[in-house]
Structures are given as structure tokens and as C-alpha cells.
């Protein structure tokens, strides 16, 4: 029996790999077709899209810089969706996390080293509170967490903008931005010639922590059980309400940290005037990474590569940056399609069964 | 104090309710058919753009309207195809399409017009405003109800149309049967997938009018992400109205009222960020209040049932 199970596993994982690759290839083909359609120099555009991220050392740095918040957001969405909650609050948590980190950076006089950690902690807690609200509403009154979390994102965005623009705005900054952060609050840059910053250690640490949490602790086990089958989890004595609460809090905590790390690592002032374009990328990173903390960074790097490529392409050609959201949308919807390539799976199973007997 | 009962204010309420009401009617049809159409936001955004582009290039309003509908229905079709035939989780599919359209509309706008942010270079057409004879001459009521955009009146007619479709036609009966119990419906020979496909496509048509209202009536251009969550607010309205066309209209009107109330605050020196929050905060509060009310109703029913059983015994 074990042998059969192992056999099935290997077909399943082979099939998954095939499905993921085909989904990504189709999405890239769609992009390819669109570029051919709209661009006057399509091959120039494609060259920038695919080779731009490795054309210069600085660009490789950009990929790593972009992958840091994407990994945080991917972890955030992975944890929240794993409890079977469609909570989209990570973008609101990201924005408020950035805001809170900026405020802590500007107002609390703390020594180097401790200062950014305190900012991260505050940002995480505020992020956690934001994503907990839809969960509480869901648990108490059974109202859709999807709608309430999306509404809450608009509230968080405006609250953050209000706080920065009305209380911490530097009138001499030239643009709409906060005062300059003191040097003690900044996350130091690690690699000369890039903006790769200390946040990379924090994100690696969080990947390990979340992996241990999900795979090795009883809380992580309860979370996975709740996500797989809520009723079964309930009957086996798991407090699913508590699971939903702490999973959404942890998800928001991670997204809040993403905002803090981004603001203190990449900028010297708070410069967001609207939701960053990658704020919703947690969904695609989580879907691509199969909600597995180990795969999430890989998915984040892949997505960061596409983002930097699209950025290079939009600067150097006549195709706009927003094309990536078309690629992303197609990747998500195809990977989530359970019946996509279904008959290939059957063929693979048959082949496997006949070849070994 | 703020005077909320002026005819001008009530005129604004009707004006800002229109797109929410149209999208909410689209949500009603889907909810009744047992499919959740999260992609309403993306449908509206797409139709808002294609309506502007086609009407601008053809200089024909009706072709523009058709273009808007085709754009919106295309997104609805994508959702239906992936959710019903390729078994994508419909919520995840809706989220994916909404993410796709936020950037996708900008991509198309830039590729065709060279504009980013707003379609300023396109001379698109608008749906006309209409003065209703007789009613426009009645003081106060005339000021409130007459002179609205054609699509506003369409939205009001749509409430009755959707009601008629759901409760007075065979198709509506089948649609509700599929939503209530798909297995039972399929056992009497109803093609569940097909009914849900029609429901999604129909919701695409209705929500497209909501999208076109944004760019061809409310404003005269398409701007990036201009739907700004109205598709989700419509979902909340449909949930509050228990997918009943009348109840959903009342909920939509309530959200329209709150949004207009926010605009009134603008002149009172309240920071713009707080005014921007009003529609979203009121949606959350509305959702919670309604859910509380529903829970109490359910509890009451339970007590009644227990009571009845005791009497019987």
C-alpha cells in the first residue's frame, strides 16, 4: 500500500510540475502575443523583458530588492489562505506597516540596531490587527471576509496617507513625502551598487520561522487541518475560531513587516502616495509557491524577475509596465484550474501503472 | 449643520447609487444561481474602458455601448470558462481577473491611445441626460428624479427586469433551482453548468452598464482603477439584500447615501482622506449590522421551532 501511495505521489508531483510549467508558459505566450500586437519593435521589447534583469549588476540587485517584500507578502497570504480564509488585507497591512515604521522611525529616539527592530515590531502588530478585523467579523457575524478585507484596504490606505501627509510631511521635500528618517532607523544596505538591504536576513529568518511553525508545531498542524476540512478539525477538538484568529494575525504581522522593511530599507523618507503596485502580489506568490514557505521565496524571485524585466521593457520600449498584471492574472487563474490538463494526468497515471507492473 | 434633505442632495444620492445598483443587480443574478461573481469589479473596469475607446473611435454611442458590453462580457466569460469548465476556485478566479484588469486596462489604454492615467486624447461620447416630461415640472420631486442620465433610469428599470426574470420566467425558476440545490436541479434534467454560465454572462451585461456609467456619464473619461471598489460594494449590497432585487436596491441606495454624505463633508474642512474612507467604512458597518440582524432572525426562528415542538408534544 505504501508503495502504491508513493507511486501516486510521484505522478501527482510530476503532474503538478507539468501543470505549473504549462501555466507559466501559456501566460508568457499571451504576453508574447500582446507585445507582438502592440509594439513597433516587439523583439527589442522582448529582449528587455527577458534579459533586462540580468543585463547589469544593478538590475540583478533590483530583482533581489523586489523579491524581499514579495516573499513577505507571499508568506502572509500563504498563512492566511491556508486557513481557508480569503483575506485580502495584506495590502492594507503592508501600507499601514510602512506608515507605522515611518512614524516610529521619526518619533522614537532609539539606538542603532534596536530602532528598526522596534519599528518592525510595531508595524507587524498593526498589520496583524488590520487582517484580524475581517476574521473577527467573519467569526462573530459570518460576514464575507473577502469583501470586508478589501474595503479595509481602502481605509488603511487613506489612514496611512492622512497620518503621513498631515502630521509628518516635510514641506521642503519637493514631493509629497515625510521628513527624513534618522540614520538609526534605517536598515543598512549590504551590497555596494545595489539597494539590497539588511531586510534580506529578516525575510530569510521569517521563511524559516513560518516553515517551522506550519510543519513542526501543533498550531501549524491545527492551521493546516482547519484549512483542509473545517468540520473535521472541529470534531477532532481543534478550536477553529482560535486558528482562524491567529492565522490571520500572523498573516497581517508578516505583511506589516513587509511594509516596514521596504520603507526603512529602500527609502530615506516615507514616499508612498498610493498603494504600491506589488501590494496584491502576495496572492500570486502564494499560489505559485503552493502555500509552502520553502517554495514562496522561489516564486517571489521568479515574479521579481518578471517585474524588473517589465520595468526595463517599459523604460526602453513602447510596451507599458502594466502588462505584468495580465501575465500574473493568467498564471493565477490557470494554476488554480483543477481540471486544467486533467486528461494528461490520467495518461500519466496509466503510463506509470503499466510501465511498472 | 449639513442639510441632507435638499433636492440637490437626493439627486446626488441617486447619481452615485447608479453604478452600485447596476453591479448589485448583476450580483443578485449570480447569487441566485449559486455562483459568486467576485469579478464584477474587473467587468466594470473593462467595460468602462472599451466603451470609451469604441465610442471615441466610431463616434457612435450605440456601438460604444455595444463595445462596453462586449468588453465586460468577455471578462465574465473568462470567469465562467475557468470556474465552470476548468474548475478554478471561483473566488480565486475572480480575484485573479480583478488583478488582471486593473493593470490590463492601463496596458490597453497606453497601447491604443498612448495615455497613461486617463484617456484624455480620446473624444468619447456620453450617455445623454433625460428630462422626464410632467415629472420635471413637479417642484422638488422633479428636481430629484428628473434630469438623470439615461443609465440611471436603465438601472431602475433593471431592478424590475431582474425581478421579472427571476420570479416570473421559466429561466428564472431554473436559475433559482440551480442556486438552491444544484444536485436536485440536475436530477430533473437542468444543465447546471449552462444555467450558471448564462447567469455569469448576464451579470456581465448588467455590470457593464455600471462600468460605462462611470466613464461615459459620471465622468467623461476613463481613469486608472476608476471603479474603486464599487464592484465589491455591490457584492456587499447583494449580501445585505439577501439577493432579493428590492432588498438589494435598498442596500445600494444606503451605500449611495453614505457616499453622497461623504461629499457633503468635503466642504466642512474634514481631511480628504477621511472622506475617501466613508463608502468603505459604511460598507463594513452595513455588512456587520446586517449579519447581526440575520443572526437574530435565525435565533428567533430556532426558538419558535422549539416552542412549536413543545406545544405539539
* Averaged pLDDT for residues A260-267: 95
Residue of B nearest to A160 (CA): B273
Residue A197 phi/psi, 5-degree rounding, is: -120, 180
Nearest alpha-carbon partner for B22 in B2, B47, B3: B47
From chain B residues 115-154, the ones with a CB under 8 A of any chain A CB are 116
Task: Name, in order, each residue with C-beta under 8 angstroms of B273's C-beta and a sequence gap of 6 or more.
Answer: A158, A159, A161, A162, A165, A166
> Are B101 and B108 in contact, with CB atoms under 8 Å apart?
no
Q: Does B199 touch chain A (CB under 8 A)?
A: no
Cβ neighbours of A204 (radius 10 Å): 13
The single residue listed with the C-alpha cell 505521489 is A9
Of A237-246, A312-321, B263-272, give the lowest mean pLDDT range. Answer: B263-272
pLDDT for residue B266: 78
Cβ distance B67 to B125 under 8 Å?
no
Among chain B residues, the shortest Cα distance to A165 is held by B273
Contacts of A22 in chain B (CB under 8 A): none
Q: Is the predicted pLDDT of residue A323 greater than 60, yes or no?
A: yes
Q: How far, in Å, CA of B210 to CA of B26, rounded?
A: 9
Q: Does the structure show a pLDDT above 60 at B1? A: no
**Would the pLDDT of A357 be above 60?**
no
Helix (H) or strand (E) holding B130: strand B129-130
The pLDDT confidence band at residue A1, using thresholds 50, 70 and 90, is low
Report the residue of chain A nearest B295, measured CA to CA: A141
pTM of the full predicted structure?
0.91
Cβ contact, residue pair B96, A159, below 8 Å: no
What ipTM, to 2 d.p.?
0.87
Chain center to CA of B265: 25
Which domains, and CATH codes, for chain B?
7-312 (1.10.3470)
**Grid cell digits, residue B185:** 436541479
A196-208 average pLDDT score: 95
Contact criterion met (CB < 8 Å) for B96 and A333:
yes
Residue B160 reports pLDDT greater than 90: yes
Do A32 and A353 contact (CB within 8 A), yes or no?
Answer: no
Q: Can you give the pLDDT at residue B3?
A: 66
- Stated as kind and residue range, the H or E segment containing A74 is helix A57-82
* Neighbouring C-beta atoms of residue A333, cutoff 10 Å: 29
Candidates A162, A163, A333: best to mutate against B (most CBs of B within 10 A) is: A333
Q: Do B38 and A146 touch (CB under 8 A)?
A: yes
CA nearest neighbour of B60 among B198, B230, B280, B216:
B216
Nearest CB partner across the interface for A143, out of B85, B93, B287: B287
C-alpha dist (Å) from residue A63 to A60, A66, A187, A270, A309: 5, 5, 18, 22, 9
Q: With CA atoms as reference, report the closest residue to A83 among A295, A253, A243.
A: A243
Q: CA of B97: which chain A residue's CA is closest? A: A329
What gap in Å lies between CA B224 and CA B226, rounded to an integer?
5
Residue A46: its pLDDT value, please? 92
Burial bucket for residue A13 (CB in 10 Å: 0-12, 13-18, 19+): exposed
Residue A207: predicted pLDDT: 97
| Adjacent-strand bridge partners of B88 | A337
What gap in Å lies between CA A132 and CA B45, rounded to an integer? 29
Closest by CA to B160, choosing from B269, B245, B270, is: B245
Q: In the numeric block, which cell numbers belong to residue B16?
A: 452615485
Instruction: Using an 8 Å CB-CB cutoff, list chain B residues near A37.
Output: 111
Residue A315 near residue A336, CB atoms below 8 Å: no
- Which residue, chain included where needed, has cell 497613461? B116
- Residues in A touching B77 (Cβ below 8 Å): none
- pLDDT reported for residue B145: 86
pLDDT at A14: 80
Q: What confidence tier does A64 reach under pLDDT thresholds 50, 70, 90?
A: very high
Amino acid at each position: 500500500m505504501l508503495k502504491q501511495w508513493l507511486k501516486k505521489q510521484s505522478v501527482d508531483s510530476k503532474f503538478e510540475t507539468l501543470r505549473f510549467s504549462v501555466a507559466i508558459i501559456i501566460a508568457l505566450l499571451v504576453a508574447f502575443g500582446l507585445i507582438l500586437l502592440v509594439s513597433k519593435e516587439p523583439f527589442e521589447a522582448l529582449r528587455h523583458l527577458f534579459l533586462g534583469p540580468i543585463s547589469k549588476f544593478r538590475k540583478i540587485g533590483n530583482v533581489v530588492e523586489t523579491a524581499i517584500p514579495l516573499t513577505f507578502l507571499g508568506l502572509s497570504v500563504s498563512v492566511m489562505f491556508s486557513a481557508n480564509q480569503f483575506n485580502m488585507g495584506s495590502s492594507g497591512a503592508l501600507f499601514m506597516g510602512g506608515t507605522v515604521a515611518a512614524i516610529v522611525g521619526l518619533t522614537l529616539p532609539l539606538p542603532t540596531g534596536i530602532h528598526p527592530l522596534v519599528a518592525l515590531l510595531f508595524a507587524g502588530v498593526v498589520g496583524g490587527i488590520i487582517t484580524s478585523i475581517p476574521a473577527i467579523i467573519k467569526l462573530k457575524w459570518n460576514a464575507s471576509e473577502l469583501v470586508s478585507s478589501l474595503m479595509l484596504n481602502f481605509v488603511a490606505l487613506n489612514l496611512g496617507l492622512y497620518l503621513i501627509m498631515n502630521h509628518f510631511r516635510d514641506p521642503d521635500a519637493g514631493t509629497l513625502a515625510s521628513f527624513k528618517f534618522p540614520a538609526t532607523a534605517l536598515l543598512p544596505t549590504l551590497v555596494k551598487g545595489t539597494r539590497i538591504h539588511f531586510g534580506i536576513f529578516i525575510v530569510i529568518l521569517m521563511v524559516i520561522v513560518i516553515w517551522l511553525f506550519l510543519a513542526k508545531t501543533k498550531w501549524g498542524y491545527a492551521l493546516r487541518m482547519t484549512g483542509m476540512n473545517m468540520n473535521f478539525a472541529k470534531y477532532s477538538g481543534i478550536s477553529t475560531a482560535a486558528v482562524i484568529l491567529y492565522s490571520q494575525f500572523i498573516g497581517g504581522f508578516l505583511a506589516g513587516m513587509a511594509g516596514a522593511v521596504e520603507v526603512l530599507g529602500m527609502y530615506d523618507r516615507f514616499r508612498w502616495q498610493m498603494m504600491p503596485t506589488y501590494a496584491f502580489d502576495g496572492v500570486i506568490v502564494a499560489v505559485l509557491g503552493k502555500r509552502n514557505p520553502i517554495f514562496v521565496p522561489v516564486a517571489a524571485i521568479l515574479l521579481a524577475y518578471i517585474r524588473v524585466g517589465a520595468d526595463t521593457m517599459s523604460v526602453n520600449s513602447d510596451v507599458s509596465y502594466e502588462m505584468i498584471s495580465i501575465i500574473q492574472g493568467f498564471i493565477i487563474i490557470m494554476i488554480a484550474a483543477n481540471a486544467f490538463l486533467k486528461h494528461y494526468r490520467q495518461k500519466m497515471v496509466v503510463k506509470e501503472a503499466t510501465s511498472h507492473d | 449643520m449639513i442639510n441632507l434633505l435638499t433636492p440637490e442632495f437626493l439627486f446626488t444620492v441617486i447619481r452615485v447609487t447608479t453604478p452600485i445598483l447596476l453591479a448589485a443587480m448583476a450580483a443578485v443574478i449570480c447569487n441566485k444561481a449559486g455562483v459568486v461573481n467576485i469579478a464584477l469589479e474587473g467587468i466594470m473596469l473593462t467595460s468602462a474602458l472599451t466603451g470609451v475607446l469604441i465610442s471615441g473611435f466610431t463616434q457612435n454611442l450605440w456601438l460604444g455601448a455595444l463595445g462596453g458590453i462586449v468588453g465586460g462580457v468577455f471578462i465574465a466569460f473568462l470567469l465562467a470558462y475557468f470556474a465552470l469548465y476548468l474548475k478554478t476556485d471561483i473566488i480565486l478566479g475572480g480575484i485573479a481577473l480583478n488583478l488582471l484588469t486593473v493593470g490590463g486596462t492601463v496596458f490597453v489604454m497606453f497601447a491604443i491611445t498612448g495615455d497613461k492615467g486617463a484617456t484624455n486624447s480620446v473624444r468619447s461620447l456620453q450617455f445623454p441626460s433625460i428630462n422626464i416630461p410632467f415629472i420635471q415640472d413637479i417642484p422638488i420631486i422633479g428636481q430629484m428624479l428628473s434630469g438623470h442620465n439615461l443609465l440611471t433610469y436603465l438601472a431602475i428599470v433593471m431592478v424590475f427586469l431582474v425581478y421579472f426574470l427571476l420570479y416570473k420566467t421559466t429561466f428564472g425558476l431554473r436559475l433559482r433551482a440551480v442556486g438552491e440545490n444544484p444536485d436536485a436541479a440536475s436530477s430533473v434534467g437542468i444543465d447546471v453548468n449552462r444555467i450558471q454560465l448564462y447567469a455569469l454572462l448576464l451579470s456581465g451585461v448588467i455590470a457593464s452598464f455600471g462600468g460605462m456609467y462611470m466613464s461615459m456619464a459620471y465622468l467623461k473619461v476613463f481613469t486608472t482603477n476608476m471603479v474603486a471598489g464599487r464592484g465589491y460594494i455591490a457584492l456587499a449590497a447583494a449580501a445585505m439584500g439577501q439577493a432579493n432585487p428590492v432588498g438589494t436596491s435598498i442596500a445600494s441606495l444606503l451605500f449611495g447615501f453614505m457616499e453622497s454624505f461623504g461629499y457633503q463633508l468635503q466642504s466642512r474642512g474634514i481631511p480628504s482622506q477621511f472622506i475617501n474612507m466613508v463608502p468603505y467604512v459604511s460598507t463594513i458597518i452595513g455588512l456587520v449590522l446586517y449579519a447581526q440582524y440575520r443572526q437574530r432572525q435565525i435565533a428567533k426562528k430556532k426558538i419558535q421551532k422549539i416552542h412549536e415542538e413543545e406545544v405539539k408534544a
